[in-house]
């Protein structure tokens, strides 16, 4: 558990695709601005760097292994980062400044659960 005044950690998942009608120059400008923005947020202690994800991969389940990650239609995961904020609303406000939002990408923000998993607790993995 975090100390009372310590910021919480949130996972940021980059989803979607660039707006198809935007010229490459506009997208590249947003990308360049993103890296400047990210560095400032890291230096300010508001974010922790993550990475872009490469295409391909595998999905492992009790039924076996399948090639590739499978997402809904074009809602692909492009990368991940971490935000350090006092609450979810503060994390949202930080991500709303991301220059790539204006070019079509969206960012899912999820609180990091600090407790260990338990079969006796209702969690994301608990069946309905």
**Positions of the chain with pLDDT under 70:** 1-5, 69-75
Could you tell me the pTM of the whole model? 0.82
Q: Give the pLDDT score at 50.
A: 95
- List of E strands, 71-127: 77-85, 106-111
What token pair was written down for 17? 């695709």
For the chain, domain boundaries:
8-111
Q: Give the pLDDT score at 104.
A: 94
Please tell me the distance from the alpha carbon of residue 16 to that of residue 30, in angstroms, as a whole number. Answer: 15
Task: Judge contact between 7 and 114, C-beta under 8 A.
Answer: no
Q: Give the pLDDT score at 3.
A: 58
Q: What is the CATH number of domain 8-111?
A: 3.30.70.1060
């Amino acid at each position: 558990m975090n100390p009372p005044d310590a910021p919480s950690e949130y996972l940021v998942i980059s989803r979607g695709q660039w707006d198809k009608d935007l010229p490459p120059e506009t997208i590249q400008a947003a990308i360049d601005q993103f890296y400047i923005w990210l560095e400032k947020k890291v230096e300010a202690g508001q974010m922790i760097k993550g990475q872009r994800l490469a295409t391909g991969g595998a999905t492992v389940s009790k039924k076996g292994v399948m090639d590739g990650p499978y997402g809904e239609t074009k809602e692909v995961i492009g990368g991940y980062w971490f935000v350090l904020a006092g609450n979810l609303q503060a994390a949202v406000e930080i991500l709303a400044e991301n220059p790539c939002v204006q070019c079509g990408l969206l960012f899912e923000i999820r609180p990091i659960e600090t407790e260990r998993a338990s079969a006796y607790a209702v969690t994301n993995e608990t069946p309905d």
